[in-house]
Each structure stands twice: as structure tokens, then as C-alpha cells.
Amino acid sequence: MRSIQELMNLSGKTALITGGAGHIGKAVADALAEAGCSIAIADIDARSAEEVAMALKEKFQIKTAGYDVDLAEESQVRELPEKAVTDFGSLDILVNCAAFVGTSDLEGWVTPFKEQRTEAWRAAFEVNLTACFALIQSATPFLERTGHGSIINIASMYGCTGPDWRLYDDTQMGNPAAYAASKGGLIQLTTWLATTLAPNIRVNAISPGGIWRNQPQRFVERYEKKTPLGRMGIEEDMKGAALYFASDLSAYVTGQNLLVDGGWTAW
């Protein structure tokens, strides 16, 4: 029987992480790198992708690379897995972490439902769901080749539950329908792929709760009161879940959605 350290060891494996220069993406990359994994960072911000890759290389003495990719461009998405395999020799782990969250000035996004627009809806689905489908499809032959491929989709608790609008009173924050619907679709895609790609590839999802990023104090206070663990999440909270699904700690686990939400959905 292998030890826990042996089960979590990712030495000799390569992970491709989209959105790897983002808040959660960097935490996931850091966790897998500490376990010995080679890391390919893919992000729309090419400079940030390179910087994160170099920082991981220096910190953990592993092989890394940074790729720029626009997930709204299918040709770029489909080229990623082969690019990673060319540079690293194999692809063992795929983490779909990039997400379209929009901005406050995007028309029809952070606005009341009757004012939300299909343009913003389509943009969210293109990045949050369609790009994941295309990337997984292109990565499947390489992940199958290893015999132990692992796909981790970063979804959201709002793919499982509706928003409490009282949290947003007197703030400029919002919760667009397209974000929730696309993340809900990603969770169902996870389940569908788990039975479709077995036994050589495992597919699981992580659904974070609210992550603290200097939101208005009134929002934070309301959120914390509704959360059993009494606080918002931080990026570090995602590291254990990511390592679990990426490694043989979860060798007999597929088709699951792990809610890392401080108990928000447990009420």
C-alpha cells in the first residue's frame, strides 16, 4: 500500500492550466508544482502567464511554460494540448480554470435581469463552457495515452444554487444569469464526461464559494453571516481540492463536484 506522500506525488506529470495567471489559477498551479508537477500556464495575458511560469520554475525547480490564449478563439484553444505535449512530452492533468466574469461596464452583464443581453450571455458561454468542451476534446487523446489522465473543471457554487439578492443591496455588484448557467453547464459536462472518458481519464469539478477580493464591506458582512464557517474563501482554500483531484489521492473518484464554499450550500 502506497503512503500518502506517494499518492500525492506528481513528479513526472504535466498539468495544463487555463487561466493560470488568475487568482485561483495561480493557487492551483502552486499546489501542483509543490507536488512535483511540471506546469503549463495558459492565459489571455501572455506576460502574466510567462511571469507565473517563471516564478514557479524558480520556486519549485520544475519545468514550466507560459502560453497566451484567447479562449474565445477555438483554433487557439484546440492547439494548446499539442503545444504542451510538444514542450513537455506528455499531458497528464488538465485544469479548466479560466472564466468569463465580465466587467461592470460590459453592456447587459452586471445589470438587472430584464436588461441583460444575449451578447454578454454568448461571451460567457464561449469562455466558461464551449472553450472547455473544445479543449477537453483536443486533449483527450493525450490524456488517454497516459492511462491516468485527470481533468479538473473549476465551476462555481452558483452552478448549483441561486443567488441571494439581499447580499448585493446598496452595492455595484451583481450576479448575471449567464455566469450561473454556464457554470451549471460545466458541472453537468463534468458528469457526462466522467462516464464517457472512463476508465483512462477521470473528470471532476471544484465549485468555489465567494472568494474575498476587497468587496464592499457591507457585502462581506452579509456573506459571512450566511456562511457556516463564518468567512469568505481565499485562493489558498482551493489548493487541497486541486491536489486531491490531480493526484492518486482520488484515483477512484470521478464525476464529482466538490463544493469548497465554507458550507454555504449546506443550509
**Catalytic residue list:** 179
DSSP string, 161-188: S---GGGGTTSS----HHHHHHHHHHHH
Distance (Å, whole) CA 184 – CA 136: 17
Instruction: Please state whether beta strands 93-96 and 149-154 pair in parallel, antiparallel, or not at all (unpaired).
Output: parallel
Residues 6+ positions from 140 with CB-CB distance below 8 Å: 149, 197, 201
Is there a contact between 63 and 38 (Cβ–Cβ < 8 Å)?
yes
Helix 74-88 × helix 131-146 angle, to 10°:
20
Residue 211 buriedness (CB in 10 A; 0-12 / 13-18 / 19+):
middle
Report how far residue 130's alpha carbon sits from residue 128's, in angstroms, rounded to the nearest whole number.
6
Identify the CA nearest to 170 among candidates 214, 120, 100, 217. Answer: 217
Query: Quick one: cell of 24?
Result: 485561483
Q: 21 and 98 in contact (C-beta within 8 Å)?
A: no
Instruction: Specify whether the CB–CB gap between 95 and 154 falls below 8 A.
Output: yes
Q: Is 18 exposed, middle or buried (0-12, 13-18, 19+ CB in 10 A)?
A: buried
